[in-house]
Structure 1
Amino acid sequence: MPLRLPPLSSLRFFEAAGRHQSFKLAAAELNVTPSAISHGIVGLEQALGVELFVREPRRLSLTPEGADYLPYVSEAFSLIAIGTQRLPNNRAHRTIAVSCAPTLASRWLLPRLQDFRNRWPDINVTVDTSHRQVGFPVDGFDFAIRMSRAPVAGAAWSRLFGEQLVPVCSPAYRNTLIDEKGNIDLRRATLIHVNAASEDWQAWLDRVGMNEIDPSGGLRFDVIQLAFEAAVMGLGVALGRRPLVDRELGTQALVAISPEVIVAETAYWLVSSEGVDHRPDLVDFKQWLLSEAVTLEGGRTAVGAASGNVVG
C-alpha cells in the first residue's frame, strides 16, 4: 500500500517558513506571496490535524509539533536534492550556484570570474547576493561564502582569507584632520560605520588603545560598499577592509590615515554543500577559488599610511 503524503508544495512552504521563522522571508525565497505561504500551511495543518506554527502579531514560531516535524521534512528535501544532483545526465551539473555578500561579490569574486570562464567556458556560474540564510542543498546552492570566526561543526568549511582593518578617507578629508603639530586628529573625524559588520570601529579602537574616542556617533550604512562611497565623497573616515578596499587605495581615491593595521578575528570561508566531491565541475570551482585566495594572501602588500602620528 503506497504511503500517503501531504501535498509536496505545502511541505516546501512549511520547510522554508520553519527555517526562516517568517512567512515573508519564505515567500521571497520561493517567489510566491506571503498569503500563498500562509494558506498552504493552513491546508497542511488541516491535513495533518496539528498546528505547526504559533502566530503572534509580530512573531512567528514553531509549535513543539512543528519543531519536531521540521527536521524530517528538511532531510527529505535534502535527500531529493542530493539525488538529483548525482544523476549522471542532470543538466544542472554544468551550472554552479554561489551565495555571496554583495560587496565581496562585486569587489573580489566578480573580477576573478573571467579567469574561471577562460579555463572552463562551458560551466555557468550563478551568484546570489541576497541577505538570507542558505539551506544546503534544499535552496539549490552549491557554495556559500560567509564571514565567521571559525568553521561551523558539521559543515564543509574551507578558509579563504581574512581582512585587514585600517581607517581610510579621501585625501581632501584627511587634510581637515591635521592639527597644528602635523598629526592626524581622529577626534575631529566623522566615523562611518557598517551596521552588519561583526568587527567595526569599536574593535579597531580597542585593539590600538584609543579608548578616549567615542565610536557611537557618525554615519551608519547597512553595506560596506556604501561606507566606502561615503568616505570617497569626503563624508568621514571609514574602516577600510582589505582586500575589499584595495581598489580605492590603489587609485588614491582613499588613503590610509593610520599605520595601525589590525587583522580581523573573522575571516571569509567557503561553505560547500554535500556531494560537491561527486561533481567534477564543482571540484574544479572549489580548487580554483581556494587557489585565488592563496594568491591573495601571499601577495598582500603593506598599506601606505599617512606620515605623522594619529592622535585620539
Structure 2
Amino acid sequence: MPLRLPPLPALRFFEAAGRHQSFKLAAAELNVTPSAVSHGIVGLEQALGVELFVREPRGISLTATGADYLSYVSEAFSLIAIGTQRLPNHRADRPIALSCAPTFASRWLLPRLAGFRARWPNVNVSVDTSHRQVGFPVDGFDFAIRLSRAPVAGTAWTRLFGERFVPVCSAAYLDTLRDGSGDGSLDWRRATLIHVHTASEDWQSWIDAAGVEGIDAANGLRVDTIQLAFEAAAMGLGLALGRKPLVDADLSSGALVEAGPPTLASAGAYWLVSAENVERRPELVDFRRWLIGESGQFDTSPEAAHASTHDSNS
C-alpha cells in the first residue's frame, strides 16, 4: 500500500516558514508571495487536522506539535538533498554555492576571487548575500561564512580570522575633533557616532573595552550595514567603528583615517561553515583550501593558534 503523504509543495512552505519563523522570509527564499505560503500552510493544517503555527499580530511561532513535526520534515528534506547529491554525475559542473554577508563579500571575498579564477578558470562560484539562515543541505549551499563568537553544534566550522576594531573617519572630520592642545588629542564629546544596528558588536563594546570617557553611545547616526557606516564616515558624517581587515582598503586609499587608539580585538570571528560531503567534489576541497589559505595572514589572535578547525560533530 503506497504511503499517503501531505502535499509536497505545502511541506516545503512549512519547512521554510518553520525554519525562519516567518511567512515573509519563507516567501522570499522560495520566490513566492507571503500569501501563497500562508494559504499553503493553512491547507496543510487542514489536511493534517492540527495547528502548526500560532498567528499573532507581531508574527508567528511554531506550536509544540508544529515544532515536533518540523524536525521530521526537515530531516526528510535533508535526506532527499543528500541522496540527490550522491547520484552519479549529478550536476557535477554546478557552481560552488556560498552564503556570506554583503560587506564581507564586497570588501574581502570579491577582490580575491580573481586569484581563485586564475588557478581554477573552469570552476564557477555563486555568492549569496541575503540575510537569511542557511540550512545544510536543504538550501543547496556548499559553504557559508558567518561571524560568530564560537562554532555552532552540528556542522563543521573552520576559523578564518577575527576582526579588530578601531574608530575611523575622514581626515577632515578628524580635524574637527581635535581639542586644540597641540598634541593631537581628541575631544570625544564632539563626535557623532555611526552605529550599525544589526551588528552584534558595535560602539558600546569598543567604549567598554577601551575605557574612553565622554562618549554618549546612545546618540548618533544609525545604519543597517557596515558598508554604509564606512561610506557615511568617508563623507564626513561622523566616526564609524572600523573593522579590520574589512576597512583596510579605505585606510590604504586615504578615504578613511584611524581616529586614534586603541585597536581592540572583537569577541567574534569569521568562520567557514561547510556542508556535509564536501570531500566528494574536488573543486569544493580546492575552494575551501584556497579560502583558508587567503584568510591565514589576517588572523594573529591567540585563538587562531589552537582553534583553526572545529568540527562540532566530533
- Tell me the TM-score normalised to structure 2 length: 0.92
Report which stretch shifted further, 105-114 or 270-279. Answer: 270-279
Corresponding letter in the other structure for 1:226: L
CA–CA distance in structure 1, aligned partners of residues 259 and 199 of structure 2: 21
> Which residue does the alignment assign to 1:240?
242
> Deviations along 1:147-174, whole A, 9 cap, x unmatched?
1011112211100001110011111111
> Which residue does the alignment assign to 2:144?
144
5+ unaligned residues in a row in structure 1: which ranges?
A: 299-312
Quick one: structure 1 residues 73 and 93, their matched pair in 2 at CA, closer, same or farther if it must change by over 3 Å?
Answer: farther
> Which residue does the alignment assign to 1:171?
171
> Which residue does the alignment assign to 1:46?
46
> Which residue does the alignment assign to 1:197?
199
Corresponding letter in the other structure for 2:222: R
> Which residue does the alignment assign to 2:223?
221
CA–CA distance in structure 2, aligned partners of residues 212 and 25 of structure 1: 41
> Which residue does the alignment assign to 2:85?
85
CA–CA distance in structure 2, aligned partners of residues 146 and 209 of structure 1: 29
Kindly state the Cα deviation for residue 93 of structure 1 after the two structures are TM-superposed: 4.8
Q: Per the alignment, in what secondary structure is the counterpart of residue 94 of structure 1?
A: coil
Q: Per the alignment, in what secondary structure is the counterpart of residue 299 of structure 2?
A: helix
CA–CA distance in structure 2, aligned partners of residues 92 and 81 of structure 1: 15
5+ unaligned residues in a row in structure 2: which ranges?
A: 301-314
> Which residue does the alignment assign to 2:60?
60
> Which residue does the alignment assign to 1:76?
76
> Which residue does the alignment assign to 2:233?
231
Q: Per the alignment, in what secondary structure is the counterpart of residue 196 of structure 1?
A: coil
Corresponding letter in the other structure for 1:241: R
CA–CA distance in structure 2, aligned partners of residues 112 and 187 of structure 1: 39
Contact 1:165 1:240 survives alignment (8 Å): yes
* Residue 276 of structure 1 pairs with residue 275 of structure 2: no
> Which residue does the alignment assign to 2:21?
21
Corresponding letter in the other structure for 2:289: Q
Report which stretch shifted further, 274-283 or 75-84. Answer: 274-283
* Residue 135 of structure 1 pairs with residue 135 of structure 2: yes
> Which residue does the alignment assign to 1:307?
none
* Residue 126 of structure 1 pairs with residue 126 of structure 2: yes
Report which stretch shifted further, 205-214 or 245-254. Answer: 205-214
Kindly state the Cα deviation for residue 134 of structure 1 after the two structures are TM-superposed: 0.9
> Which residue does the alignment assign to 2:309?
none
Corresponding letter in the other structure for 2:190: R
> Which residue does the alignment assign to 2:259?
257
CA–CA distance in structure 2, aligned partners of residues 164 and 248 of structure 1: 15
> Which residue does the alignment assign to 1:304?
none
Kindly state the Cα deviation for residue 59 of structure 1 after the two structures are TM-superposed: 2.0
| Percent identity over paired residues | 73
CA–CA distance in structure 2, aligned partners of residues 68 and 119 of structure 1: 47
CA–CA distance in structure 2, aligned partners of residues 138 and 69 of structure 1: 16
Q: Per the alignment, in what secondary structure is the counterpart of residue 237 of structure 2?
A: coil
Contact 2:191 2:215 survives alignment (8 Å): no
Quick one: structure 1 residues 92 and 50, their matched pair in 2 at CA, closer, same or farther if it must change by over 3 Å?
Answer: farther
> Deviations along 1:51-70, whole A, 9 cap, x unmatched?
21122222211122111100
Quick one: structure 1 residues 76 and 92, their matched pair in 2 at CA, closer, same or farther if it must change by over 3 Å?
Answer: farther
Corresponding letter in the other structure for 2:33: T
> Deviations along 1:69-112, whole A, 9 cap, x unmatched?
00100001011111112223111553111111000000000011
Corresponding letter in the other structure for 1:195: H
> Which residue does the alignment assign to 1:94?
94
Kindly state the Cα deviation for residue 201 of structure 1 after the two structures are TM-superposed: 1.0
Corresponding letter in the other structure for 2:194: I
CA–CA distance in structure 1, aligned partners of residues 7 and 88 of structure 2: 28
Report which stretch shifted further, 175-184 or 224-233. Answer: 175-184
Q: 1:206 aligns with which of 186, 205, 208?
A: 208
Kindly state the Cα deviation for residue 185 of structure 1 after the two structures are TM-superposed: 1.6
Contact 1:97 1:127 survives alignment (8 Å): yes
> Deviations along 1:179-234, whole A, 9 cap, x unmatched?
12122222211111111111111111111111442211111110000100111001
Corresponding letter in the other structure for 1:90: H
* Residue 3 of structure 1 pairs with residue 3 of structure 2: yes
- Tell me the TM-score normalised to structure 1 length: 0.92
What is the aligned-residue RMSD (CA, Å)?
1.3
